[in-house]
Chain A
Amino acid sequence: MELLGFGATGWGDDLLRGAALTLQLAIVSLAIGLSLGLLLALAKLSRFAPLRWLAQGYTLFIRGVPEFLILLLAFFGTEKAVAAIAQLVNLQGDIDVPKFAAAVGGLSAIFAAYGCEVIRGAWLAVPKGQIEAGHSVGLTHWQIFHRIRLPQLWRIALPGLGNLWLVMLKDTSLAAVLAIDELLRVAKVAGEVTRQPLIFLLAAGAIYLVLTAVSDKMRATFEARANRGMAR
């Protein structure tokens, strides 16, 4: 048990630091993934056909390919790009690959592909009459977007986005394979050092369970808030 304690001999603080990095990874990817997802959704709703095809092709690709592969592709792609740039500007010596950025890139690319479908669905779920009503009282396009569409978009998209958040939170564990010191990797290393892998991996599993449980509770709260004033 003292293995999981805090301080010099225990790994408890290391595990918590790993969990913090896990959350960081997930939150940064959420922010970027959501923005990309909105852009992709707009591309899919666009009147310009090639833009629609491009977005469609992108989601098809991401949905059919393992998350793990996408993360590895992002990681090694970044590595190659960094090396190429270093050669271009004639830098000498070893250069660290921005692992965290690569993982965020991969995770948010995945989130965006799924998120754009949720956002697109929510966009279309706002009744057309409301938009026409907005036009007829003389609102501009922008006003219609942020006064009428966006507030309702949020409410409709929330359950789907909440699901995707849970999926992504769990996907951050793949970053352990890229040697990023998030929760799972810390647990793996601790298990190797102390020769007690079972304890540490179970502890990591328990922490993930807490993270997803708390996320689920928060999602319920957000949904209740977004739905206030709505008839059931």
Chain B
Amino acid sequence: MSAYQDLKYALSDGVCYAAQGVTPESFATYCSRYVDGFLVTIELLALSSILGLCIGTLVAVARVSTRPVLRRGAWAWSYIFRGTPLLVQLWIVYYGLGSLGPERLGILWPLFKSGWAVGLVVLTINTSAYIAEILRGGLSSLPVGQLEAALSAGMSRAMAMRRILLPQAFRVAWPAYGNELILLMKGSALVSTITVMDLMGQTRSVFARGYSLETYLYSAVLYSLLAIILTLGLKAVERRLNVG
């Protein structure tokens, strides 16, 4: 873990050394803070988007399951996490559940104590609910004949799902998933309200020192940069998905 931390520090030192002189002084002074925060944002985004995609896929499959319990459970999952604000979810877990304290939370306490961990869990759950809904749309856009053909060829439902339906659903859902990823990136800024020093957290603390609006503008530029990189990456994947 510490080697990883060292790597992050080395990265931010390197970037800031290069940024010296070519960026305004009010940015260069706090450069390492912006870059540190940027890396935390990327970290949270990468982990929660991958985990969220896995959970979201499971929830989407449960949504079209033949078992009513699974169907209803998956519906409730999407409904609750899409129907309440992300900020409320973060605060419920961090300030609400976290207030139960170490005695009542037991081995889960370290998780609830850390803003970073709570942020990761809540972002993952939140995006999984949206992804499930997107994938369900993709699944229901497929003709019923495909599932019937797979079943009559002797595949199990699970196999038909894995080999026939889900790959196509992913292709249909990809552009919508791209939108969700950008929204997740923007939503991740809210973890700064539960003490995480992501890009937004660092920005707010730099702002508290100098009280200059430029602070937010620099941060906005960095977020836009991330959005552009994500958009380009998503487009590249989309082109690959549409091959053949």
Contact = CB atoms under 8 A, between A and B. Distances in A.
A148 interface: no
A72 interface: yes
Given A170-B86, A191-B96, A202-B92, A76 B213 contact: yes
B187 A197 contact: no
Contacts of B100: 198
A56 interface: no
A173 B189 contact: no
Given A198-B96, A202-B96, A205-B89, A64 B224 contact: yes
Most interface-central of A67, A76, A188, A201 (chain B CB within 10 A):
A201
Interface residues on A, range: 35 or more
Interface residues of B, number: 38
A212 B84 contact: yes
Interface residues of B, dominant DSSP: helix
A205 B85 CA distance: 8
Contacts of A172: 85
Contact of A176 (B87, B92, B224, B228): B87
Given A69-B200, A197-B96, A201-B92, A184 B223 contact: no
Contact of B84 (A69, A171, A208): A208
Contacts of B78: none
Interface of B: 80, 83-89, 91-92, 95-97, 99-100, 182, 185-190, 192-193, 200, 203-204, 207, 213, 216-217, 219-220, 223-224, 226-228
Q: Which 6 A-B pairs have the closest CB atoms?
A: A64-B227, A66-B189, A198-B96, A64-B224, A173-B85, A170-B85
Given A68-B200, A198-B92, A212-B84, 14 more contacts: A65-B227, A66-B189, A66-B190, A68-B186, A68-B189, A68-B190, A73-B216, A188-B91, A191-B95, A201-B95, A205-B88, A205-B92, A209-B80, A212-B83
